[in-house]
Amino acid sequence: MELYAYVKAFPEQSVILSGLLIMTCLVKNNPEDYHRSLRLYLLTCTIAFLSVFFNEKDFFHNEFIMKGDFSDMLTQTAYVIAICCGFFVKKDAYKHKQEVLMLMLIALIGFKVVIDAQHLMSLFLGVELLSFPLYALIGLSPMPYSTESALKYYLQGSMISALFLYGCSWLYGITASFDMLLLLSAFNSSILSLLSGILVLGLFLFKLGLIPFHFWIFDLYHQAQRSLIFFISLIPKLALLVVISKFLKYSSLNWTPVFIAVILVSTLWGNIGAFKQESIQRLLGYASLAQIAFALSGLLMNSTFGLASSLIFIVVYGVGLFFVLIGIHKFNFNDPIPLFKMDGLVEQDKFGAWMMTFGLLSLAGVPPFPGFFSKILIIYELINTQFILLAALLLGMSIFSCAYYIGLIARLHYTDSAKMGLNKMSF
């Protein structure tokens, strides 16, 4: 009966599993028929999106899963992102595109488990189910050093996961339970409790790609295809922000100073690092560090509205990133794209140049583009909750980031960047 109740509450999971099963049969019988697999992938995501409207609306929970306030909305957002990724895969340089689509569906199952987890073991299984397809996706990229990047990502992820389990074992020793709410409320100022909390927190920061666990993200962006850049920039971030909001809301210890330090250092490092990059992928990687740190600051309000503002920020960030990735649709993704190839793009591809312009202005937070309103929403609420200095610093760094975003826009619309002095700034 509980399985039946779960299917009624989460019918989209059944749709995804059915789509995976059918796609597996297609790959086995027609390994070269990518277009049929793409149609099935898009159909599966669309039906899963629509099925959320017809799920059991009553609050569902058991020992491992608890359907949260934003569960349905986030699930539908994830399927929209997955559909966009499907169109990117069509133009990407992957040799095994059917496997790429299947891995993305598996990651979506992990995403759903993570956002609804209320047990540390279900959280761990969800995070790993979300992460392992990403390890494989970067390895499948035809870029020159994609296998090396995938191995680095996998080894670092495995180490962080092992430390997370070690921290969980200490927490179990304190409370004799793996229930997340009970564990978080049992935190105290003892050394054992603090160390276990830090180990658990390390997994969250690693999956978000924030300092001090950010080293993997730049190589990954540098070697990734457009679909993976878009997928990994949004799906894991949305899931982990939900988990961190629970961590901050129910923890008996005040972790706010730790998160403020992470936010400030990550924002500074990301924005400064973006100036020195010579490829569009690495620039987006460093910029994502600052963007995700900005989104994380919304959780410091420790409220439902704060979580909503962070999630809205990520979605708006995804919109800007989507237009940037569309703008580079004519470039070959067998190698990293150097920034000098952006010079005068408007003369060769007006559509691509203007799509990139819109996306970059939104990422920079320039009014009246969407990114401006998502940033103002977080800054306004930070001021209302007395994080005035943090709000001022984030605003200053956001203005600072306009330099490399607008510098790249200048490259798009002018042929001779040397005359503008952009080469001196690695643009």
3-state SS of the chain is CHHHHHHHHCHHHHHHHHHHHHHHHHHHHCCCCHHHHHHHHHHHHHHHHHHHHHCCCCCCECCCEECCCCHHHHHHHHHHHHHHHHHHHHHCCCCCHHHHHHHHHHHHHHHHHHHHECEHHHHHHHHHHHHHHHHHHHHHCCCCCHHHHHHHHHHHHHHHHHHHHHHHHHHHHHHCCCEHHHHHHCCCCCHHHHHHHHHHHHHHHHHHCCCCCCHHHHHHHHHCCHHHHHHHHHHHHHHHHHHHHHHHHHCCCCCHHHHHHHHHHHHHHHHHHHHCCCEHHHHHHHHHHHHHHHHHHHHHHCCHHHHHHHHHHHHHHHHHHHHHHHHCCCCCCCCCCEHHHHCCHHHHCHHHHHHHHHHHHHHHCCCCCHHHHHHHHHHHHHHHCCCHHHHHHHHHHHHHHHHHHHHHHHHHHCCCCHHHCHHHHCC
Is the distance from CB of 349 to CB of 312 less than 8 angstroms? no
pTM here is 0.87
Is the distance from CB of 222 to CB of 179 less than 8 angstroms? no
The predicted structure's pLDDT at residue 401 = 86
Tell me the average pLDDT across 311-324: 90
The residue behind tokens 């001021």 is 383
Dihedral sign for Cα atoms in the order 243, 246, 252, 256: positive
pLDDT over 70 (residue 11):
no
In single-letter form, the type of residue at position 351 comes to F
pLDDT confidence bin for 316, thresholds 50/70/90: very high
d(CA 394, CA 296): 11
Tell me the average pLDDT across 217-244: 85
The predicted structure's pLDDT at residue 334 = 64
pLDDT confidence bin for 65, thresholds 50/70/90: low
pLDDT over 50 (residue 392):
yes
The predicted structure's pLDDT at residue 314 = 92
Question: Please, what is the average pLDDT of the chain?
Answer: 80
The predicted structure's pLDDT at residue 61 = 56
Quickly count: other Cβ atoms within 10 Å of residue 392's Cβ.
Answer: 13
The predicted structure's pLDDT at residue 423 = 46
The predicted structure's pLDDT at residue 1 = 46
Tell me the average pLDDT across 98-117: 85
Tell me the average pLDDT across 233-261: 86
pLDDT over 50 (residue 426):
no
The predicted structure's pLDDT at residue 164 = 87
d(CA 342, CA 325): 13
Is the distance from CB of 405 to CB of 363 less than 8 angstroms? yes
The predicted structure's pLDDT at residue 32 = 61
pLDDT tens profile 66-97: 666 677 788 888 889 988 888 888 777 677 77
Q: By mean pLDDT, which of 5-14, 206-215, 410-419 is the weakest?
A: 5-14
pLDDT over 50 (residue 167):
yes
More confident residue, 361 or 340: 361
Tell me the average pLDDT across 146-167: 85
Phi, psi of 179 (to 5 degrees): -65, 125
Tell me the average pLDDT across 297-307: 84
Q: By mean pLDDT, which of 51-55, 157-161, 167-171, 281-285 is the weakest?
A: 51-55
The predicted structure's pLDDT at residue 302 = 79
The predicted structure's pLDDT at residue 69 = 67
Q: What is the dihedral of CA 55, 75, 201, 168, to 10 degrees?
A: 40
Residue 318's nearest CA partner among 339, 342, 292 is: 292
pLDDT over 80 (residue 353):
yes
Return the ∠ at Cα 163 (arms to 157 and 169), rounded to 5°. 140
The predicted structure's pLDDT at residue 427 = 41
d(CA 225, CA 227): 6
pLDDT tens profile 52-64: 777 665 555 555 6
pLDDT confidence bin for 37, thresholds 50/70/90: confident
Tell me the average pLDDT across 36-46: 81
The predicted structure's pLDDT at residue 307 = 85
More confident residue, 269 or 345: 269
pLDDT over 80 (residue 238):
yes
